[in-house]
Amino acid sequence: MPHADSAFVPSDIQTKCEFWNHVHDQLQGLLEGQRNWISNLANASALIYNALLAFPAHFGPGNRAVNWCGFYIDSAFFPAAHDLDQSGKLLLGPFCGKPACQFINITPGKARGVCADAYLRRETILVPDVERYPGHIACDGETKSEIVCPLLLEQGDKQIAVGVFDLDCLALEGFDEEDKAGLVRLADLVVKASDW
Ligand code: SME
């Protein structure tokens, strides 16, 4: 199967639960034979973004579409930080959508926004209305709701946060608990399938 076809959503997929299970299986196949995190996150964002756009029923009528899907990764995992002081930041990783903030501060005391909060708390944050979220960083003024899921790597008895997975929506209340469950599973899959 050509790689692009993995984002196809068959018509017998009707519910969100079926949708997320389908995307999970497609992602598993797509990541096979590759452990480079940059390549894997690139294909994960492309698959999830395009599958969501191919399943508009998910977001209901009208303009309820996902407008950004991607990753911010702790600068410590990037190959080279050169002279720039990149420590204490999440750097923009692979994504689909319009250009976004290059970095997000995660230094305690300076951290702000949904991504930093999800990363530091190590918990998924559902934001039904971004204007009501204190500290929300607006990369795109058209975004109305958001969900951010931390990427958690198990290392022995330790759990390390390597970054976050962020989805934005043009409608209020774009995501719900079912999406949260689906995304947490996808985040776990991509973390385990990659070398960090
Ligand atoms: N809204 C995010 C910033 C990232 S963009 O949405 C792509 C935040 O508040 O952290």
Domain ranges of the chain: 3-193
**Does residue 119 carry a pLDDT above 70?**
yes
pLDDT at 83 over 60: no
> E strands, 58-193, where?
66-74, 89-97, 103-105, 125-127, 145-155, 158-169
Q: Helices (DSSP H) in the chain: which residue ranges?
A: 16-31, 37-53, 114-121, 177-192
- Is residue 129 within 8 A of residue 145, CB to CB? The reply is yes
- Whether 20 and 181 have beta carbons less than 8 Å apart is answered as yes
The reported pLDDT for the residue numbered 56 is: 74
139 lines ligand 1 (CB under 6 A): yes
Q: Report the pLDDT averaged over residues 80-109.
A: 87
CATH architecture of 3-193: 2-Layer Sandwich (3.30)
**Residue 115 near ligand 1, beta carbon < 6 Å:** yes
Q: What is the mean pLDDT of the chain?
A: 92
Q: State pLDDT tens for residues 184-195.
A: 999 999 999 999
pLDDT of residue 2: 80
Nearest CA to ligand 1 atom 6: 139
23 has pLDDT over 70: yes
- Burial string for 123-133 (b: 16+ CB within 10 Å, else e) reads ebbbbbebeeb
DSSP 195: B
User: Does 137 contact ligand 1 (Cβ within 6 A)?
Assistant: yes
* Per-residue pLDDT, 141: 93
List the single range of 86-90, 133-137, 180-184 with lowest mean pLDDT.
86-90
- Give me 86's structure tokens: 């990149």
